[in-house]
Structure 1
């Protein structure tokens, strides 16, 4: 495998200055655990992936629920934005880089997944993709050194993805789904659409449309997997780009959830 994927969107979606990034993480995620002793351990998170200005604080409200808990590895799933993907694209690297350093990949698991019919080793879809990269500084801050399995999920049936997750995601692993909600509607319409999508997610309905969530493909498979495992979903935060000073006529929606057994 080629050694490392360099950061593609540092300086655009989030700071390329390690000191600035550390201060931001410290403000969102104080290093001391904020969870009470005996607090439920999340089995998964659903988080947005826009620039930190717009959705970073929303994502942090989910990531803070990981504090005080340990995981063996992290399955990180998101939608391809730049290069079309049939099935699932896995990277042919050993690590991903951010301004905070290196994130190890679980290359053994990646090689096993690559033997499946719906999975391909392809660096090209990952090279400029932002949806997975923006989650890495949170993971580096909270769980440094924990290996990641980055999966760009394109055209695949929810049942096929759910079966894959059932075969590979174990109790000591974390499932992390990267998705935004609706895109480019006026504020009132965006909020109405997003409220309906949030209600579907809370019911674990694996019938989300790409117009409702850009990460519909990984999200649907994960929701079906969660339902089959008996998980429950909690809504942790919901907002829009307009609330961060964005255009109220072309609004993007964001929400953060936790999956619990």
Structure 2
């Protein structure tokens, strides 16, 4: 069986299991995190969430808000969508089979549904190479392993093509899979990159307003008009489309902050948001 070994352990998050568990705990208890440890007592059905994907010291507390929100769910399958930062491999790619390894253990790829989503949407190709170097999906996995004690599988999707047309197809394909299996959807994206803190807050506020209104057309319009440098905009849009197809009627901003809010260096920051679709 093919093993997708960690690409960013020791960089984006600790490489030993003990240090990693401690780091995740600190993210949950951080002042920008939920301030408490999972599981959540709230069993409201959440269809999907948006999570950041920077190093845990920067974005981990914001991501922890999304993971706390879904911690009482028991999905069989977690579909994770993110941007291909390296631009390698296919325009849109999943994996046919294998496991993703983290310092906390292995998570199996849902081979059956990877093949199925490729049949539903031919632009989603089966290509392991596309996934070899990127961090955007990998950093979600230890969080998932910590909040879920039950066994689950993943369907990883990584995007070079984040266009409006592509994300509509991808989102609808994700929804078809989610209708046949108990599924959680995670859209992996950071928001504004390397701008002054106040500017990042203003840019991201506009884009988040489109997300929470579930308006994909408005989302792309603001993205283009304001030139918001959100790296995983296609992952956000795909998640929005899939969740709407699955009956989401609202989106909730759980937490927003920048790396500057967290570290104190506000000269050049990256924005992070935790958003849940219900």
TM-score for the superposition, normalised by structure 1:
0.91
How many residue pairs get aligned? The number is 257
Alignment correspondent of 1:65: 69
Once the two structures are superposed, residues 53-94 of structure 1 have per-residue CA deviations (whole angstroms, 9 ceiling, x without a partner) of 000011001101122221111111111001256542112441
Verify: 1:256 aligned to 2:274, yes or no.
Answer: yes
Structure 1 window deviating more from structure 2 (169-178 vs 22-31): it is 22-31
Contact 1:197 1:212 in 2 (8 A): no
Query: Match for 2:156 among 139, 146, 150?
Result: 150
Question: Is residue 40 of structure 2 the alignment partner of residue 34 of structure 1?
Answer: yes
Aligned with 2:266: secondary structure?
coil
SS in structure 1 opposite 2:98? strand
C-alpha contact 2:23 2:56 (8 A) present in aligned 1: no
- Which of these residues, 211, 228, 231, is aligned with residue 201 of structure 1? 211
Shift of 1:113: 2.1
Q: Specify every segment of 5 or more residues in structure 2 that has no aligned partner in the other structure, as ranges.
A: 30-35
| Alignment of 1:140 onto 2:145 | yes
Q: What is the CA–CA distance in structure 2 between the aligned matches of 1:85 and 1:247, rounded to whole Å?
A: 35
Retained in 1: the 8 A contact 2:117–2:174? no
CA deviation map 1:163-211 (0-9, x unaligned): 2122211272111110100111111111110111111111112133373
Does the 8 A contact of 2:187 with 2:236 survive in 1? yes
Residue equivalent to 2:132: 127
1:219 to 214, 229, 236: 236
CA distance in 1, matches of 2:62, 2:142: 14
Among 74, 81, 84, the alignment partner of 1:77 is 81
Q: Determine the structure 2 residue equivalent to 1:94.
A: 98
Q: Secondary structure at the match of 1:180?
A: coil
Does structure 1 residue 239 correspond to structure 2 residue 257?
yes
Match of residue 51, structure 1, among 36, 50, 55: 55
In structure 1, C-alpha distance between the alignment counterparts of 2:186 and 2:64, rounded to whole Å: 13
Q: Which residue of 2 aligns with 1:187?
A: 197
| Cα RMSD for the two superposed structures | 2.0
State the SS of the aligned residue for 1:224. Answer: helix
**Distance in 1, Cα, partners of 2:96 & 2:177:** 19
Determine helix, strand or coil for the equivalent of 2:25: helix
Q: Secondary structure at the match of 1:114?
A: helix
User: Which stretches in structure 1 are left out of the alignment for 5+ residues?
Assistant: none
Residues 5 and 127 of structure 1 are in contact (CA less than 8 Å); yes or no, is this contact kept in structure 2?
A: yes
Q: d(CA) in 2 for partners of 1:52 and 1:14?
A: 6
Kept in 2: contact 1:114–1:121 (CA 8 A): yes
Please state whether the residue corresponding to 1:256 is helix, strand or coil: strand
CA contact (8 A) 1:46 1:257 kept: yes
Match of 1:21 in 2: 20
Q: State whether residues 201 and 233 of structure 1, in contact with CA within 8 Å, keep that contact through their aligned partners in structure 2.
A: yes
